Amino acid sequence: MRTESKKWVVASAAMLLGSLLIGGAIAHAQNAGAASKAEITAAEAWAFPVYPPLAELQAPPPHPKELVHIAGSTRSYTQAQIDQSTPDWFPQDHPPASGIVAEARKPAGSCAECHLIDGAGVPATATPAGLPKAYILEQFAAFRAGQRGISAPRTSQDMRKEARAVTDAELQLAANYFSKLKFVPRARVIEAATVPKMHWKFFVQVPDKSGAREPIGERIVETPANFDDYQYSSDRTAYTAYVPPDSIARGAVIAAKGVGTAAACGSCHGATLQGVGAIPPLAGRSPTYIVRELILFRTGKRSNPQAAPMVQEASQLSVKDMIAVAAYAASRK
């Protein structure tokens, strides 16, 4: 995760500007009171990863030669190796990964760097494991064309750069690899009125040392069960996703019947939300990611032609609806 974070930041100074712009848009929406559908509101900011201070990202590892282990793996890597390329803690979990999937080829990063070697991803990125190949190719076309990841969040801009940096042969290799992987859900969804107070660390929320709690309000708080697993890019990193009370049952109704003029999610994504044809699965995926994408659809930041039904759908959903349906989807296996 360290390497990835560093690359994310060092990659483009323009990205910093991007974040300032998002910050501005959020503040503006807050001042305006009622936000337009084209803006990310202050009430939605939690779904977007917060960037660590540059100095933190660029700091050299304190002990580059120290051997790192993680629970359950027989392997070990030095911190310097981890910073060099994504470790493969559990080679038994996935077929051999080659080429761009596992190794960077400048200016392209390796897919594993941001999505882990088994495609499980982290809440700040996405989960390519088990996505339909046609959908992966379509999304690359969208990133390349600037129809996805245009202005917010900054992480999307990285994917746009990445999509333009990889060759078509690399894309085929990666799309074949990830579409054949079995997706393993990593987040346990827990309804809770109060949650541990959190701060952002390397693009993810972690509990404050004080152990203090606060009301959850209208948001999802997704945190790694073990920060070491996360920071050392373990593809078995487990997450706890706290959601407001009653979200899951409410989300089940939206998935099955829709809400207001929004159609039932199941009518396109399949009754069990496992995906249909090139329409991606939602079951078991990071609930933070699901909400973030719904916001990006609504604000027109996913504007490829295939996204049209989702732009329509997301514009009919309140933040509360999005949280509920994401909580339900994430709790499915």
- Binding-site ranges for ligand HEC (CB under 6 A): 8, 100, 109, 111, 113-115, 125-126, 128, 131, 135-136, 138-139, 149, 155-156, 158-159, 162, 166, 174, 178, 254, 262-263, 265, 267-269, 279-280, 282, 290, 292-294, 296, 302, 304, 306-307, 309-310, 313, 317, 325
In the numeric block, the tokens 């030669």 are attached to 65
Nearer to ligand HEC, 120 or 310 (CB): 310
Nearer to ligand HEC, 77 or 178 (CB): 178
Structure token digits, residue 260: 């207001």
Q: What is the rounded CA–CA span in Å between residue 165 and residue 106? A: 8
Nearer to ligand HEC, 11 or 42 (CB): 11
Nearer to ligand HEC, 92 or 261 (CB): 261
Q: What is the rounded CA–CA span in Å between residue 198 and residue 213? A: 9
Q: What is the rounded CA–CA span in Å between residue 276 and residue 285? A: 16
Nearer to ligand HEC, 203 or 242 (CB): 203
Are 149 and 159 in contact, with CB atoms under 8 Å apart?
yes
Nearer to ligand HEC, 196 or 250 (CB): 250
Q: What is the rounded CA–CA span in Å between residue 199 and residue 130? A: 31
Q: What is the rounded CA–CA span in Å between residue 200 and residue 219? A: 15
Are 93 and 186 in contact, with CB atoms under 8 Å apart?
no
Nearer to ligand HEC, 128 or 196 (CB): 128
Nearer to ligand HEC, 142 or 195 (CB): 142
Are 287 and 187 in contact, with CB atoms under 8 Å apart?
yes
For the CB of residue 78, give the shortest distance to ligand HEC in the complex, in Å.
22
Amino acid identity of residue 240, one-letter, is: T
Closest CA to 151 of 296, 306, 311, 315: 296
Q: What is the rounded CA–CA span in Å between residue 332 and residue 248? A: 10
For the CB of residue 26, give the shortest distance to ligand HEC in the complex, in Å.
16
For the CB of residue 210, give the shortest distance to ligand HEC in the complex, in Å.
30
For the CB of residue 245, give the shortest distance to ligand HEC in the complex, in Å.
20
Q: What is the rounded CA–CA span in Å between residue 31 and residue 25? A: 10
Structure token digits, residue 28: 């503006």
Are 172 and 98 in contact, with CB atoms under 8 Å apart?
no
Nearer to ligand HEC, 210 or 261 (CB): 261
User: Alpha carbon of 57 to those of 4, 40, 116, 220: distances in Å?
Assistant: 9, 26, 19, 25
Amino acid identity of residue 279, one-letter, is: I
